[in-house]
Structure formats: structure tokens, C-alpha cells
Copies of this chain bind each other. A is one copy, B any other.
Amino acid sequence: MTTAPFNEFTSGTPTDELASRARVAATAFAAWSAQPPRARARALVAAAAALDAAADELIVIAARETGLTEVRLRGELKRTTVQLRLFADVIADGSYLDVRLDEADPEFALGPRPDLRRTLVPLGPVLNFAASNFPFAFSVAGGDTASALAAGSSVIVKAHWGHPELSQRIGRIVSDALEGAGAPQGTLQVIFGQEQGVAMLRDEHIAASTFTGSIHAGRLLADIAAARPAPIPFYGELGSVNPQFVTRAKLGRDLHSVVEGYVASVSSSAGQFCTKPGFLFVSDASVMIEPVHEAAQRVGEHRMLNPRIAQGYLARRETVLATDGVSVIAPGTVRFDDDANAWVTPTLVSVSVAILESSGRRLLDESFGPLSVVVEYRDESTLADLVRRLFPGNLTGGVHALDDEATPELVALIDQLHRSSGRVLFNGWPTGVAVTSAMQHGGPWPATTNDAGTSVGTAAIGRFLRGVSYQNMPQHLLPESLRDDNPWHVPRRTAPAGESTSWGNLG
């Protein structure tokens, strides 16, 4: 079996090798995008099966490279292979093509209308920058790769330096599986190195890019994508602090379940989730102190992903703890082992709204790790405006309220949360993102660089597609999805000739 060429751990890649890989991706794209959807679907399922079969081997490597627990990693690998299979369903179904057929209409309101048939087609080869904190689900075979392959794009993944052996191994397994199922050589390639990633982002063959990581790095890459001779879409998932709001009534009735859920969500995987709740707004912080402290005490030490992330977290933690007006509920612990890895327990503090506003970015910036801030508010009616001003762009926002609460303040808060975030939760915690058709993982800047997209859920495929219309094209020259006989059984919307409209009937 032929395997895709990819970096076997050389320390760097010369420019001409990168250019050669980009050309391979372009050649692979032409063939891969021309395959029938069900052939691509079968290849995705084959990749999922190959990863499942290699689970034991992969979990060992991942645990060593990331410090994440086996339970977490097995769940994440399962999610990754389910994700590949979900996208197989999406392309076999075909509604993602948004096919529209306008029948020729000699009597159209604007004069004779031609036969027009529109489908979505893939943009071209996609470059994905992998994440540190999801070695499976946002890395070589993660959601960005699954959705781009499903769209018909070939994919180059710039692996994250935090889990290189795992990235290499997964790249080999998946590219072998894809090619074994009929995908062209080079449908998936993996490259290593920051400079190499930037050089690839500038390559003319790359048609779109994704990224999961920090605001700083994401903005740098977004600017490079926008400054190319031919700009390309860049879908970066950057920073989010996911504010949570507990109503006075909810706090009065369900204090302990709120606290349990909060501390669990903050500390899960050492808080290294983009959906970690960074702020919890309550009407009375004093009642939180004892139960939060007690719940935090019960959280065991968790290793952080790598020393560099640990250093960033410790610096943020110092800044927060040194801010005037911050009260410590649970200080948390930090211990370094012999490999310079940090083992941490959660740090939870409280402030007033006034302190939060006056301290600016010192408190508002994301802390990537198990740190969260309880904020005491005085008046629920101020919360919507506070979200608008302090939390303009987040992946998620949540309210915790009684099931039948419907105060104007709550309605206004939810309305504002939907304007400033991509997912609004009720009595839930934002960590643990379902991979389904209705998921939105992406929100206004700086949650994402382009909030038209989602990086989780089946709608993610839309990021790699563009429309093409065929006008008066004979049947034998149309793509299958647009032919009258519809051999792929694609769902389609037809505008028949002479269709009446509702123009006069909007009463």
C-alpha cells in the first residue's frame, strides 16, 4: 500500500519539501474531490475503524505526551472516531451541498429565466493547525480534518509540538486507512514546526486554514492569511472565558448543585478547555465560600499539558491573585515533578463587579488552567449590559435559573448572551461539547476569527465550501448532484417555472 509522504521526525523541513507537499495536496484534492460522496464516506469510516483498532497503542502515547488521564483520552478518541463517522453520514446524506434547482421559466418576473442549478463545491486543500489540549479531537484526525476531508478537501495538518509522536502515528494510521479505501496519495499529510506551518499558510495551493489555540498566535496567522496575494478564509478558534450567571432564586434553592457543577467544570482536565467557565456571577459570594472551598479540596492533582502551558498558567494565576480586591476562596496548589511538569489543583477566587470592572484585562483575560473567578453582582438588571461591555466575544455563556423563571432581567440576559456567544446554556456547564448537527462551537471575536463557522458539529463542513451555478448545462455535462436523475439521491430544493410567490400575502 502506498502511504502519503509525511515528516518522519526530521527537525525541520526545507522550503522545497513544503512546496512539494503543497503540490501533492493540490493533486490529491483534484482526485479526492471528484470521488462520489459515498466513496469519501467509506474512506472516513475506514479511518475511524483504523484508529479504534489502534486505541490501546495511541492512548499510551497520548497519556505520556499530554498528562491527560486514560479515561479522558479514551473518551476523546471515541469522540474523534464518532466524529469521522458522523461526517461520513453527512456526505452520504448530501444535504450539506445545499442543492438548488431553478427550472427555466420563460415567464419569470424579470424576463426569461435560464435553467440554473447550484451546488456547493470544496474550496481546495486545507491547512489545519492542531491544538495542544485535544491530542485527538482537535489534532491530526480531529474535527477540522474530518470536516475538511468530508467537504472533499485534501488536508495538511501542522501538528502541535506538544504531542509529536502521537501526531505522527495518527497521521500514518489515517493516511494508510484513507488510501487503503481508495483515497489518493497525499489526501492527508502531517507537517511539523511553527515556521513550516507559516510557510505552508502562505503557499498558493492552500485554499483555507483552521487553527485552535491562543488569541496571540491565532491573530498572527489570521493576519498572514488575510495578507496573502490571494487571501483565504482562516477559521481560528481562539480565546473564551464562558461567563456563567446564577439568578438569585437559583442560588437560594440549588446552591450545592451549582457549586458541585461549577468546580467540576473548572477543574476537569486541569481546566485546559476553551469552554472552561472563567467567571461565575452570583448575587451573594459569601454563601459560596465554604462549599466551593470544600469542593475544591476534593479535587486531586492533575498534570498540566506541558511546562510551557504551565508557565503561562502560573503567570496568569499570579496576576489574578495579586490584583487588589481579589479574595481567595481556594488557593490551589502547584507542584513540579522531576520532568518539569506542573501538577495543579484548582484556584478559585471572588471579587465584586466593581473590582472586575476596574481591574480590566488583569482579571478579564483567559486563564488557561483550573482558575475561575466568582463575581458578586448586586442587581440582576445590570447583567445584560455587563455582558455586552465586558464579554463581547465568547464560545459560550450560561444561565442558571429555576425552570419556570422568566423575569425580564433573565430574558434580557439570554438575549445578550446569544449576541455575544455561540452557545447559550441553561442549567448546564460548557465543558463537554456534544458532536451533533445542532452544535455551534464558535462565536464573535475573539472567540473565533470568523464567527460564520463552527469547529464542532456537522455544520463545520460549511467552512470549506463555496457555491457554483451551472446555467443551461446539458444533462451529460452536469455534476451528478445536479442531474435530473439525481444518481446520488441528494436532497434538493426546486423552484419550478411559474412558481407563485407570497409577495402579496404577508398579512
Given contacts A78-B110, A118-B438, A436-B113, contact A92 B502 (CB under 8 A): yes
In the assembled complex, how far is the CB of residue A264 from the closest CB belonging to chain B, in whole angstroms? 15
Chain B residues near A424 (CB-CB < 8 A):
468-471, 473
Across the interface, do B477 and A411 meet the contact criterion of CB distance under 8 Å? yes
Q: Chain A 395-410, CB within 8 Å of chain B: the 1/0 string?
A: 0000000011010001
A114, CB-defined interface residue at 8 Å:
yes
Across the interface, do B506 and A437 meet the contact criterion of CB distance under 8 Å? no
Contact with A426, one of B102, B230, B419, B474 (Cβ below 8 angstroms): B474
A317, CB-defined interface residue at 8 Å:
no
Across the interface, do B471 and A45 meet the contact criterion of CB distance under 8 Å? no
Binds B, one of A154-162, A355-363, A450-458: A450-458
Q: List 28 A-B contacts (CB under 8 A).
A: A86-B501, A89-B503, A92-B502, A98-B459, A101-B438, A102-B439, A113-B436, A116-B436, A118-B437, A222-B231, A223-B227, A226-B226, A230-B392, A231-B445, A233-B452, A406-B476, A422-B466, A422-B467, A422-B469, A423-B470, A426-B471, A426-B477, A436-B495, A437-B493, A438-B469, A440-B467, A440-B468, A452-B465
In the assembled complex, how far is the CB of residue A276 from the closest CB belonging to chain B, in whole angstroms? 16
Across the interface, do B451 and A503 meet the contact criterion of CB distance under 8 Å? no
A109, CB-defined interface residue at 8 Å:
yes
The 6 closest A-B pairs by CB, nearest first: A226-B226, A440-B469, A116-B438, A118-B438, A100-B438, A230-B445
Q: Chain A 372-404, CB within 8 Å of chain B: the 1/0 string?
A: 000000000000000000001100000000011
For A, the interface residue count at a CB cutoff of 8 angstroms equals 93
Chain A residues 178 to 237 lying within 8 A of chain B, measured CB to CB, are 222-223, 226-227, 230-231, 233
Q: Chain A 419-444, CB within 8 Å of chain B: the 1/0 string?
A: 10111111110000011111110101
In the assembled complex, how far is the CB of residue A81 from the closest CB belonging to chain B, in whole angstroms? 9
A403 nearest CB neighbor, chain B only: B474
Across the interface, do B472 and A425 meet the contact criterion of CB distance under 8 Å? yes
Chain A residues 473 to 507 lying within 8 A of chain B, measured CB to CB, are 473-474, 476-477, 479, 493, 495, 501-503, 506
A332 to B355, CA, bound (A): 73
Across the interface, do B446 and A477 meet the contact criterion of CB distance under 8 Å? no
A42, CB-defined interface residue at 8 Å:
yes
In the assembled complex, how far is the CB of residue A473 from the closest CB belonging to chain B, in whole angstroms? 5
A85, CB-defined interface residue at 8 Å:
yes
Chain A residues 88 to 139 lying within 8 A of chain B, measured CB to CB, are 88-89, 92, 95, 98, 100-102, 108-111, 113-114, 116-118, 121, 123
Q: List residues of A whose CB falls within 8 A of some B CB.
A: 34, 38, 41-42, 45, 75, 78-79, 82, 85-86, 88-89, 92, 95, 98, 100-102, 108-111, 113-114, 116-118, 121, 123, 222-223, 226-227, 230-231, 233, 392-393, 403-404, 406, 410-411, 414-415, 418-419, 421-428, 434-440, 442, 444-446, 449-452, 454, 457, 459, 465-474, 476-477, 479, 493, 495, 501-503, 506
Chain B residues near A415 (CB-CB < 8 A):
34
A441 nearest CB neighbor, chain B only: B469
Chain B residues near A86 (CB-CB < 8 A):
501
Contact with A434, one of B116, B223, B427, B440 (Cβ below 8 angstroms): B116
In the assembled complex, how far is the CB of residue A335 from the closest CB belonging to chain B, in whole angstroms? 31
With a 10 A CB-CB cut-off, give which of A222, A449, A465, A474 has the most chain B CB atoms. Answer: A474
